[in-house]
Amino acid sequence: MQTTHIQRLSGTNLGTYSFDEFEERKQELARLKEQASSFWQQEKTVLVAHGIQNCHNILDLACGPGVVTRKIKSLVPDSHVTGVDLNESLLNVAISDSQQDDFESPTFRKADCTKLPFETSSFDFVYARFLFQHLCDPDAAVTEINRVLTPGGRVVIVDVDDRDLNVTPSCSSFDQLTRAAGFFQAQGGGNRHVGRTLDDLLASHNFTNVTRQVQVMSSDQIGLDSFFRMTTQFKVEQLPKELAGQMRDLIPEIRRELASMNATISAGIHVASGLAC
Ligand SMILES: C[S@@+](CC[C@H](N)C(=O)[O-])C[C@H]1O[C@@H](n2cnc3c(N)ncnc32)[C@H](O)[C@@H]1O
């Protein structure tokens, strides 16, 4: 198989998301933080519906810069919350930002989600947000989730499915960028259509009470520009260098086109859940 940009990055098991390889790291960090904050109210409702407030040991798997990890800690202050990620730069941001909080910090730790450094049955809730689309071996991650959860413990996995990413009215340059990003992510072993597979994935690992629902996020909630920045623009970073350059030049044009049409972008975010056996 041809070696792609993303495959070269995956030597560290970071799959198709290597923050340190982004050209615009400051921008990407701001995007991760903005995305985690903008939809927190909606996300909190989902987590509460899955009983997070009754849990004592919560793991945020692939916590990135820890924004959601800290929000979980403030939501369930009496619980012990741990955030793990394989990327040290993002973990350092999480640790440093959590020092500003007026509540106890979560524990942040470097770990690979396919080889977790925790005893069997250490957690009663595991949350994984926008991780699975990047994994070359999602089965290995689910095996580990099952192992570290207590029997009956809950997993919630949130991820995209680009078949539910829509622009109205349609915009061909937007489609060109999202198609190219999906193609190269798949070449690197990732999957931007992972959303619809998540319930089957959990069921195949003997999780019980498996559910999957779709939450719709839309640019009507936070504005077209912010929504585009958070869900689409960053994808140029995941393209091979030459194509990334071309697509980066296309961004202002896509923005103008979307604005002139007064377009709405919507994304279906899949939320799968199950209980460990
Ligand atoms: C798109 S970011 C999502 C971060 C965070 N969950 C959020 O929603 O803001 C994907 C994260 O997965 C992490 N990651 C990728 N592969 C990993 C692995 N094998 N083990 C642990 N973390 C991993 C990356 O470092 C990155 O922080």
C-beta 21 within 6 A of ligand 1: no
Residue 253: DSSP 8-state = H
C-beta 17 within 6 A of ligand 1: yes
Which residue ranges make up each domain of the chain?
4-160+191-218+269-275
Q: Whose CA is nearest to atom 26 of ligand 1?
A: 64
Q: What does pLDDT average to over the chain? A: 94
Query: Ligand 1 centre and the CA of 217: distance in Å?
Result: 21
Query: Ligand 1 centre and the CA of 170: distance in Å?
Result: 31
pLDDT in tens, 153-203: 999 999 999 999 999 999 999 999 999 999 999 999 999 999 999 999 999
What is the number of the ligand 1 atom nearest to the C-alpha of 90? Answer: 27
Q: Average of pLDDT values for 1-10?
A: 38
Residue 246 pLDDT greater than 50, yes or no: yes
Query: Ligand 1 centre and the CA of 32: distance in Å?
Result: 11
Beta strands 123-129; 107-110: pairing state: unpaired
Topology (CATH) of 4-160+191-218+269-275? Rossmann fold (3.40.50)
What is the number of the ligand 1 atom nearest to the C-alpha of 19? Answer: 25
Q: What percent of the chain has pLDDT over 90?
A: 92
Residue 12 has a pLDDT of 80
Q: Average of pLDDT values for 217-230?
A: 95
C-beta 14 within 6 A of ligand 1: yes
Backbone angles phi, psi at 212, to 5 degrees: -145, 130
Which token pair is 50?
A: 């899955």
Query: Ligand 1 centre and the CA of 131: distance in Å?
Result: 5
pLDDT in tens, 66-117: 999 999 999 999 999 999 999 999 999 999 999 999 999 999 999 999 999 9
Q: What number of other Cβ atoms are within 10 A of residue 186's Cβ?
A: 15
* Cβ-contact 217, 39 below 8 angstroms: yes
C-beta 235 within 6 A of ligand 1: no
More confident residue, 18 or 274: 274
C-beta 129 within 6 A of ligand 1: yes
**78 to 22, 61, 182, 186: CA distances (angstroms):** 36, 19, 40, 40
199 membership: H or E segment, kind and range: helix 198-204
Residue 244 pLDDT greater than 50, yes or no: yes
Residue 235: DSSP 8-state = G
Q: What number of other Cβ atoms are within 10 A of residue 170's Cβ?
A: 10
Q: Which of 43, 16, 27, 34 is nearest to 227 (CA)?
A: 34
C-beta 86 within 6 A of ligand 1: yes
